[in-house]
Amino acid sequence: MTRSQKEKMLAGEMYNAADPEIQAELLLTGAWLKRYNDTLGDPAERWHALLLERLGTVGLGAAIRPPFHCDYGFNIRIGAWVYINFNCVILDVAAVTIGDGTAIGPAVQIYTADHPHDPEQRQAGLQLGRPVSIGSHVWIGGGAIILPGVTIGDHAVIGAGSVVTRDVAAGSTAMGNPARVRVGGRLPQS
């Protein structure tokens, strides 16, 4: 049986984003985002109700301050008491999981979307996604960028403006571009 392009996307395989089913999902999410982002002056309870309409999982007390941007929404799972500040971008062609009590600063970007390195595959419109997992009670500073396939462990801290290109262990503090884990209060020597 041949799998649909959406099924391939959800499985982390190469897929073509121009597929009509995928384009229809993007349009639905765009309409939802318009409604969501128009609620900036509304109470957090309104945000929560709208998040429940589109996101895969939304824990108790979770809030995302508008404006917010994502590809699909249904691939995003956020735990209880997660707080995501203004201007977050989540490219969720694959699963994005954010654990309980995590706080994410303004203008953070979380990318699962990736592209093949082969130019012919890119030219053919093929894409893929790699999931991002962020543990519980993590702090991510404003303007940080989390790249595809990254896992950030529980209680980790990501410095503002950092570009996280590889996994960050639980309880670690990582910062910089590319983000490196601090050792004993200092960044390791290169």
Residue 74 CA to residue 53 CA, distance in Å, equals 9
Distance of CA 31 to the CA centre of its chain: 19
- Where residue 24 falls (left for φ over 0; alpha for ψ -120 to 50; beta otherwise) is alpha
Tokens of 187: 């960044």
The residues that are catalytic are 115
Query: CA neighbours within 13 Å on the CB side: how many for 23?
Result: 4
- Where residue 101 falls (left for φ over 0; alpha for ψ -120 to 50; beta otherwise) is left
Other beta carbons within 10 Å of 150: 22
